[in-house]
Amino acid sequence: MLKRLMLFCLASIIAVGLVACNKSQNTKKDTLDMTDNKAEITIYIDKGTKIDPKYLNSGNVAINYLPNINGNFNQKHVKRIVNAVDKNVKVLVIATNKSGLEQVFKSVKTKLPGVVTVANGIGELSSVDKYLVAKDKNIDIGLVVSDYLGRESLITAKEMSAKSFIYLVSKENISKKEYVEDINKARLAALKYQIDFTVEEVGDNLDDLQKKLDAMNEATRSTTAIYSADRLYSDFCLDNLIKNKFILPNINSLNDGDLLAKKLDIKTMEKFKSREDFDKAVSKVLASRGLSNKLAGISESRNAVTSEIVIEVANYMYEKNFNLEECYTNISLLNRANTNLNLSLNFDSFGIAYGYFRKLSFLSRIY
């Protein structure tokens, strides 16, 4: 009995030791997964984010991918970034929807006051304390991407010659404040541009909706835009573009580029030299199927686009020897997006802020 008890205790000690060891290794792996690439414009972005490949080979831009971890970042991640930033870095961008890295900016400003600090959609900017974050004197620029794009999608649909617009939203979301506001903005835009506007509540079964769409004649389909406010239905909408030639003014998926590569059977964006080359490949396939001017989307990840805008603004600022005040006005941001990224955008106020904070709503590119 004593021998059996001793064996049980020994096994328990070994098990606890293995758990502690694995936990230690996982923590170490999380930290080691972060690279320390440095350049004039240094970016830390979530792993898996799809950015225009041309920036990966740019001499003045360094991309670092943050580790995929459960929960938010901790002090070890903060220290790793702060220690990596040196006098060669002019602009520091942190782009993640997780929290925990806001304190990086204070430490970097203490160490190197001249570094331009950019918070791109960090988790703290989506929290209840976001207005306090906007007053953080250590953050020069704060950018947040809107997830509610009914108005922007309708404007794009007008450019694509749509006469009707169907706004798809789940029954679970239709009464939520953000969606109600989005629907109202889209409806006002529809009145302005004289487009018929319909809201379609979508349940668990898409069969009934598909029957409604199939019942339309070819002429009606060709001038009808469908937009999914819920990313859950992005795949469904893209299928209806391909099969029934509806207008799709905004794919609005988790990653439009990956979804397009899958549906059109082409290489993914990272296999091309640039996002522009990928978009040309998409346009070529669509044209061969009689779908020119029928589809719009954004091939990169949304928070990658905001980082791209920061890159282009920084390049312009240092080339022209301008200051932040001149480069982060709405018109200046719009010019950089139009000229360098082939993008249009709308701005919403973020309220009182110390730095230059903007909420951006992107209009999709027409392929």
List, in order, residues 6 or more apart from 353 with CB less than 8 Å away: 134, 135, 142
Instruction: Give the residue ranges of DSSP H helices in 160-233.
Output: 177-193, 207-215, 218-222
How many residues can be counted in the chain? 367
Are both 191 and 326 inside the same structural domain? no
Are both 196 and 271 inside the same structural domain? yes
Tokens 């520091």, residue located = 92
Q: By the 8 A CB rule, do 309 and 337 touch?
A: yes
In our burial notation (b when 16+ CB lie closer than 10 A, e otherwise), range 197-223 reads bebbebeeeeeebeeebeeeeeeebbb
193 in a domain, yes or no? yes
26 in a domain, yes or no? no
Nearest Cα residue to 349 out of 182, 95, 146 = 146
Residue ending a domain, among 281, 297, 313, is 297
List, in order, residues 6 or more apart from 78 with CB less than 8 Å away: 100, 101, 103, 104, 107
15 in a domain, yes or no? no
pLDDT reported for residue 147: 94
The CATH number assigned to the domain holding 283 equals 3.40.50.11390
Are both 129 and 244 inside the same structural domain? no
Q: By the 8 A CB rule, do 358 and 350 touch?
A: yes
List, in order, residues 6 or more apart from 35 with CB less than 8 Å away: 64, 65
CA gap 11, 286 in Å, rounded:
63
267 in a domain, yes or no? yes
Are both 283 and 310 inside the same structural domain? no
pLDDT reported for residue 349: 77
CA gap 224, 155 in Å, rounded:
13
Are both 266 and 334 inside the same structural domain? no
- Global pTM reads 0.88
18 in a domain, yes or no? no
Nearest Cα residue to 52 out of 226, 336, 355, 299 = 299
Strands 365-366 and 296-297: antiparallel
Two tokens, residue 352: 């009182």
Which residues constitute the domain of residue 140?
36-146+302-362
Q: By the 8 A CB rule, do 314 and 333 touch?
A: no
Tokens 């409604």, residue located = 212
70 in a domain, yes or no? yes
User: For the residues of 71-92, what is the DSSP string, one character each?
Assistant: S---HHHHHHHHHH--TT-SEE
Indicate the SS3 state at residue 138.
Answer: coil
Please provide residue 56's backbone torsions phi and psi, each rounded to the nearest 5 degrees. -70, -20
Predicted confidence (pLDDT) per residue in 350-365, tens digit:
777 788 999 999 999 9
Q: Indicate the number of domains in the chain.
A: 2
Are both 112 and 181 inside the same structural domain? no
pLDDT reported for residue 93: 98
Angle at 157 between CA 365 and CA 227, to 5 degrees: 90
Are both 258 and 157 inside the same structural domain? yes
20 in a domain, yes or no? no
Residue ending a domain, among 261, 279, 297, is 297
Are both 258 and 329 inside the same structural domain? no
Residue ending a domain, among 297, 320, 340, is 297
> Other CB atoms closer than 10 Å to residue 251's CB: what's the count?
28
Are both 283 and 311 inside the same structural domain? no
Cα-based distances in Å from 238 to 99, 250, 295? 33, 10, 9
Predicted confidence (pLDDT) per residue in 244-277, tens digit:
999 999 999 999 999 999 999 999 999 999 999 9
pLDDT reported for residue 149: 97
21 in a domain, yes or no? no
Write out the E strands in 41-140: 41-46, 61-66, 91-95, 116-120
The CATH number assigned to the domain holding 93 equals 3.40.50.2300
Are both 137 and 159 inside the same structural domain? no
Nearest Cα residue to 91 out of 163, 147, 160, 140 = 140
Q: By the 8 A CB rule, do 116 and 79 touch?
A: no
Collect contacts of 263-268 with beta carbons under 8 A, ≥24 apart: 263/238, 263/239
Residues of the chain with pLDDT under 70: 1-32
Two tokens, residue 197: 């506007």
Are both 141 and 109 inside the same structural domain? yes
Are both 185 and 90 inside the same structural domain? no
Query: Identity (one letter) of the amino acid at 233?
Result: Y
